[in-house]
Amino acid sequence: MDEKAIGGLEQGLALEMTRASISTARMEGTKVASGMWPNTRVWVPRHIEGLADWFVAVSYEPEVARISDVMTKTGSGWRLVVSAADARVNAAELPAIATDSAGYAVSLPENAAGLVGTPRQIVRAHLASLEKAQPDKRFAQGPWTSDAALFWQREREQLVQAGWGLTLSYEPEGAVRALQTTDGGALVWYAARSTDTRTARRAGAKVSLKGSAAVRTAHKAFGRWVSATYGRMYVAYVPPAGSSDPVRVLGEWSEVLETDGA
**Strand pairing class (186-200; 164-180):** antiparallel
Total number of domains in the chain: 1
On whether the CB atoms of residues 19 and 239 are closer than 8 A, the answer is no
CA dihedral of 54, 178, 51, 43, whole degrees rounded to 10? 30
Q: Is the pTM of this model over 0.75?
A: yes
Distance of CA 183 to the CA centre of its chain: 24
State how far the alpha carbon of 197 is from the alpha carbons of 74, 222, 254, in Å.
Answer: 35, 12, 17
pLDDT in tens, the chain (262 residues): 888 899 999 999 999 999 999 999 998 888 888 888 888 999 999 999 999 999 999 999 998 899 999 999 999 999 999 999 999 989 999 999 999 999 999 999 999 999 999 999 999 999 999 999 999 999 999 999 999 999 999 999 999 999 999 999 999 999 999 999 999 999 999 999 999 999 999 888 899 998 999 999 989 999 999 999 999 999 999 999 999 999 999 999 999 999 999 9
Range of the domain at 256: 5-261
State how far the alpha carbon of 153 is from the alpha carbons of 26, 74, 167, 195, 225, in Å.
Answer: 32, 41, 11, 15, 19
Helix spans in 63-167 (H): 119-132, 146-161
